[in-house]
């Protein structure tokens, strides 16, 4: 994943990208994303179903959106990302095009081409934007890094695909990775 050039791009440039181009705009620079692998899509599908089923069973007001779904993290910065999964509890953040502001819970499934993008760049972006929880799922080593970002602090914990992981933004929701059809 490389930045396109030194020109500063805007949200309008992002909106005018061809539909088949997968890219994110971070502080005015485009970062291309590779096509997701089969295991990436399997994990994405399983998590999307588990989260959506939980929210619906609880009569919850949060919405879950799988990629591609654009999120403009900051009003005053040219940054539009496309998390693999976004859970948004404040529906006022939703427009016809995207989420304006940080989702409550974000999940990224890393690709082998550039894990630093999710572990460093996006972790800091999501924390700065006010996301409450951030999960990084690594299919290569079968691990999940969970970051609780509330109140300006980073609390991190590592899990494996053998674990049941509590979702911090809910009191009674856990995802058992052993039960996912991976």
Overall domain count for the chain: 1
Residue 149: give the domain boundaries: 36-68+83-179
Peptide bond into 68 cis (omega under 30): yes
What's residue 28's pLDDT?
95
Q: Is residue 26 part of a domain?
A: no
Threshold 0.75, pTM exceeds? yes
- Kindly state the average pLDDT of the residues 115-125: 84
DSSP 68: S
Rounded distance, CA 84 to CA 127, Å?
17
Whether residue 19 lies inside any domain: the answer is no
Kindly state the helix (H) or strand (E) to which residue 125 belongs, with its residue range. helix 123-129
Which tens digit of pLDDT belongs to each residue from 82-110?
Answer: 999 999 999 999 999 999 999 999 999 99
Q: Which residues have a Cβ under 8 Å from the Cβ of 23 and sit 6 or more positions away?
A: 4, 14, 17, 30, 31, 32, 33
Q: Do residues 99 and 72 touch, judged by C-beta distance below 8 A?
A: yes
- Any domain includes 168: yes
Q: For residue 28, is it within any domain?
A: no
What CATH number is attached to the domain comprising 158?
A: 3.90.1570.10
pLDDT above 90 covers a percentage of the chain that reads: 83
Tell whether 13 is covered by a domain: no
Evaluate whether residue 97 is within a structural domain. yes
- For residue 123, tell me if it sits in a domain: yes
For 47-94, the pLDDT digits (tens) are 999 999 999 999 999 999 999 999 999 999 999 999 999 999 999 999
How far is Cα 61 from Cα 58, in angstroms, rounded to an integer? 9
Burial state string for 41-71 with b = 16 or more CB within 10 A and e = fewer than 16: ebbbebbbebbbebbeeeeeebbbbbbebbb
């Amino acid at each position: 994943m490389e930045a396109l050039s030194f020109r500063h791009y805007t949200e309008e440039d992002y909106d005018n990208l061809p539909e088949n181009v997968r890219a994110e705009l971070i502080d005015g620079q485009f970062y291309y994303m590779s096509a997701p692998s089969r295991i990436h899509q399997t994990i994405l599908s399983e998590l999307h179903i588990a989260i959506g089923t939980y929210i619906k069973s609880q009569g919850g007001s949060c919405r879950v959106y799988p990629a591609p779904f654009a999120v403009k993290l900051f009003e005053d910065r040219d940054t539009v990302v496309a998390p693999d999964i976004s859970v948004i509890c404040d529906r006022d953040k939703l427009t016809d095009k995207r989420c304006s502001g940080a989702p409550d819970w974000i999940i990224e499934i890393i690709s082998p081409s550039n894990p630093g993008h999710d572990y460093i760049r996006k972790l800091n972006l999501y924390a700065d934007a006010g996301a409450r929880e951030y999960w990084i799922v690594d299919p290569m080593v079968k691990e999940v890094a969970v970051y609780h970002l509330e109140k300006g602090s980073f609390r991190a914990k590592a899990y494996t695909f053998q674990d049941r992981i509590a979702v911090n933004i809910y009191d009674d929701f856990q995802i058992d990775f052993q039960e996912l059809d991976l």
